[in-house]
Amino acid sequence: MTEATIQSNHPQQAEAFLSNMKRAHWHDQALWFVREKRDKAALGVKEWEALREHASRIKTYTLSKLPTYLEQFETEANKRGIQVHWAKDGEEHNRIIHEILSKHNVQRVVKSKSMLTEECHLNDYLIEKGMDVIDTDLGERIVQLANEPPSHIVLPAIHKNRHEVGELFHEKLNTPKGESDPTRLTHAARGHLREKFIAADAGITGVNFAIASTGGFVVCTNEGNADLGTALPPLHIAAMGLEKLVPTPEDLSVFLRLLARSATGQPVTSYTSHFLGPRPGSEMHVVIVDNGRTGHYAQNEFRRSLSCIRCGACLNTCPVYRRSGGYSYGYTIPGPIGINLAPHRSLEKYHTLPFASSLCGSCSNVCPVKINLHEQILLWRQKLYNAGVVSPAKRLILGGMGKMFTFPGVYTLGGNVFRGVMSLLPVGVIAKLTGAWGKQRDLPPIPKESFRQQFQKMKGHE
Partner 1 sequence: MSSRNYILQALRNAQNNAPELQHPGSFDQAVLFDDPVEQFIESVQVVAGTPVICADLKECAQQIEKHELFREANILCNLEPNWNFSASQKGSGKEWMEVNEQDDPHSFEKVDLCIMQGQFGVAENGAIWIDSRFVAQQAVLFLTQHLILTVPRQEIVQNMHQAYARLSFDSAYYGCFIAGPSKTADIEQALVIGAHGPRSLTVYLIG
* Residues in region 386-445 near partner 1 by CB under 8 A: none
- Shortest CB 63 distance to partner 1, Å: 9
Name residue 353's amino acid.
L
- Is 355 a binding residue for partner 1 by CB under 8 A? The answer is no
User: Which residue number, 27 or 374, has a Cβ lying nearer to partner 1?
Assistant: 27
- Shortest CB 378 distance to partner 1, Å: 23
Stretch near partner 1 under the rule CB under 8 A, chosen from 225-233, 334-342, 426-434, 454-462: 225-233
User: Which residue number, 139 or 338, has a Cβ lying nearer to partner 1?
Assistant: 139
- Shortest CB 187 distance to partner 1, Å: 7
Stretch near partner 1 under the rule CB under 8 A, chosen from 15-23, 97-105, 263-271, 323-331: 263-271
User: Which residues within the stretch 271-330 sit at the binding site for partner 1 (CB under 8 A)?
Assistant: 271-281, 288, 290, 294-295, 297-298, 300
Stretch near partner 1 under the rule CB under 8 A, chosen from 183-191, 328-336, 423-431, 441-449: 183-191
- Is 33 a binding residue for partner 1 by CB under 8 A? The answer is yes
User: Which residue number, 256 or 333, has a Cβ lying nearer to partner 1?
Assistant: 256
d(CA 211, CA 272): 14
Three-state secondary structure string covering the chain: CCHHHCCCCHHHHHHHHHCCHHHHHHHHHHHHHHHHHHHHHHHCCCCHHHHHHHHHHHHHHHHHCHHHHHHHHHHHHHHCCEEEEEECCHHHHHHHHHHHHHHCCCCEEEECCCHHHHHHCHHHHHHHCCCEEEECCHHHHHHHHCCCCCCCCCCCCCCCCHHHHHHHHHHHHCCCCCCCCHHHHHHHHHHHHHHHHHHCCEEEECCCEEECCCCCEEEEECCCHHHHHHHCCCEEEEEEECCCEECCHHHHHHHHHHHHHHHCCCCCCCEEEEECCCCCCCEEEEEEECCCHHHHHHCHHHHHHHHCCCCCHHHHHCHHHHHHCHHHHCCCCCHHHHHHHHHHHCCCCCCCHHHCCCCCCHHHHHCCCCCCHHHHHHHHHHHHHHCCCCCHHHHHHHHHHHHHHCCHHHHHHHHHHHHHHHHHCCHHHHHHHCHHHHCCCCCCCCCCCCHHHHHHHHHHHC
- Shortest CB 178 distance to partner 1, Å: 15
- Is 239 a binding residue for partner 1 by CB under 8 A? The answer is no
- Shortest CB 360 distance to partner 1, Å: 24
Stretch near partner 1 under the rule CB under 8 A, chosen from 124-132, 226-234, 339-347, 423-431: 226-234
User: Residue count at the site for partner 1 (CB under 8 A)?
Assistant: 90
User: Which residue number, 8 or 221, has a Cβ lying nearer to partner 1?
Assistant: 221
Among 13, 136, 205, 376, binds partner 1 (CB under 8 A): 136
Among 190, 403, 448, 457, binds partner 1 (CB under 8 A): 190
Among 14, 106, 193, 311, binds partner 1 (CB under 8 A): 193
Helices 138-145 and 162-173 meet at what angle, rounded to 10? 70
User: Which residue number, 8 or 372, has a Cβ lying nearer to partner 1?
Assistant: 372
- Shortest CB 143 distance to partner 1, Å: 10
In 3D space, the residue among 192, 83, 158, 87 whose CA is nearest the CA of residue 322 turns out to be: 158
In 3D space, the residue among 206, 236, 218, 231 whose CA is nearest the CA of residue 140 turns out to be: 206
d(CA 115, CA 333): 8
Contact 277, 2 (CB under 8 A): no
User: Which residue number, 162 or 457, has a Cβ lying nearer to partner 1?
Assistant: 162
- Shortest CB 358 distance to partner 1, Å: 25
- Shortest CB 80 distance to partner 1, Å: 7
How many CB atoms within 10 Å of residue 214?
18
User: Which residues within the stretch 41-100 sit at the binding site for partner 1 (CB under 8 A)?
Assistant: 45-47, 50-51, 54, 57-58, 60-61, 64-67, 70-71, 80, 86-88, 92
- Is 139 a binding residue for partner 1 by CB under 8 A? The answer is yes
User: Which residue number, 252 or 356, has a Cβ lying nearer to partner 1?
Assistant: 252
- Is 232 a binding residue for partner 1 by CB under 8 A? The answer is yes
Among 144, 151, 205, 264, binds partner 1 (CB under 8 A): 264
- Shortest CB 234 distance to partner 1, Å: 9
- Is 157 a binding residue for partner 1 by CB under 8 A? The answer is yes
- Is 341 a binding residue for partner 1 by CB under 8 A? The answer is no
